[in-house]
């Protein structure tokens, strides 16, 4: 990933937090037919053996038949959005401003293996469900459904486990703009429809360089 130092996120905790907040990752693999991408919700798990990303896929997905271990890249996108030059204070001063796009992203590099293990898959689904249901007024649990129904569903799935070797992070949050432009940008995002998440990301990045 092209990552100028000013936009680099070198904080592992920040990158892990992004994975947990935006767990739908793009899994990129290179197989015999070239590049292949799958979009999967992941669970980040750590133990004495290291950090892993856990997911499941339909058995019908050709990925389930690939030989492993395989080098893998998973991309997690955080808040993102178009930045209008009209939001910069310097537009009124000299007009030398152009549009850009701000975003936060985490790249996970690791080794993938496929797990044809119903018990493992069911545990992964339980972890993912608990992760996504926490905080809800009436959280759903896997045990809420009939056991035979869940077992039939699980039988049609296989597990994906990625042993993490390296994390890369990038926060492009107008760090290269003068303070006046940063302030006017944040002010504009406060009233921009759908701009709350991007505003929060930019504010946090600028406050913690």
Q: What is the pLDDT along the chain (209 residues), one digit of tens a residue?
A: 999 999 999 999 999 999 999 999 999 999 878 899 999 999 999 988 899 999 999 999 999 988 889 999 999 999 999 999 999 999 888 988 999 999 999 999 999 999 999 999 999 999 999 999 999 999 999 999 999 999 999 999 999 999 999 999 999 999 999 999 999 999 999 999 999 999 999 999 999 87
Q: What is the pLDDT of residue 95?
A: 83
CA distance 125 to 138: 18
What is the model's pLDDT at position 49?
84
**Rounded distance, CA 205 to CA 209, Å?**
6
- Measured CA to CA in angstroms, residue 53 lies from 20, 37, 90, 105 at distances of 11, 16, 44, 16
Q: What is the CATH number of the domain that holds 201?
A: 2.30.110.10
Q: How far apart are CA 157 and CA 54, in angstroms?
A: 13
For residue 63, give both structure tokens: 């990925």
Structure tokens at 193: 């429809």
pLDDT of residue 96: 87
What pLDDT is recorded for position 98?
A: 95
Domain tally, the chain? 1
Give dist(CA 36, CA 169) in Å, integer. 22
Q: Coil, helix or strand for 97? A: coil
Q: Which pLDDT score is estimated for 48?
A: 85
The per-residue pLDDT for 88 is: 95
Residue 68: predicted pLDDT? 80
Strand partners, 103: 80, 172
- DSSP assignment letter at 62: G
Burial class (CB in 10 A: 0-12, 13-18, 19+), 124: buried
Distance of CA 135 to the CA centre of its chain: 20
Q: Which domain holds residue 36?
A: 5-207
Tell me, what's the pLDDT at 92? 82
CB 72 within 8 A of CB 31: no
């Amino acid at each position: 990933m092209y990552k100028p130092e000013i936009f680099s996120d070198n904080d592992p905790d920040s990158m892990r937090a992004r994975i947990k907040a935006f767990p739908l990752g793009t899994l990129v693999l290179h197989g015999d037919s070239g590049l292949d991408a799958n979009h999967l919700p992941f669970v980040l798990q750590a133990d004495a053996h290291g950090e892993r990303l856990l997911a499941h896929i339909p058995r019908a997905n050709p990925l389930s038949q690939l030989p492993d271990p395989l080098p893998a890249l998973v991309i997690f996108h955080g808040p993102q959005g178009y930045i209008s030059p009209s939001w910069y204070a310097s537009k009124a001063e000299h007009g030398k401003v152009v549009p850009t796009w701000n975003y936060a992203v985490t790249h996970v590099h690791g080794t993938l293996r496929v797990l044809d293990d119903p018990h493992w898959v069911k545990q992964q689904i339980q972890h993912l469900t608990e992760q996504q249901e926490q905080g809800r007024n009436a959280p759903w649990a896997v045990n809420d459904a009939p056991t035979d129904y869940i077992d039939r569903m699980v039988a049609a799935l296989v597990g994906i486990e990625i042993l993490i070797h390296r994390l890369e992070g990038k926060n492009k949050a107008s760090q290269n703009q003068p303070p006046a432009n940063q302030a006017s940008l944040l002010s504009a995002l406060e009233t921009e429809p759908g701009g709350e998440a991007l505003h929060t990301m930019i504010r946090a990045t600028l406050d913690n360089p």
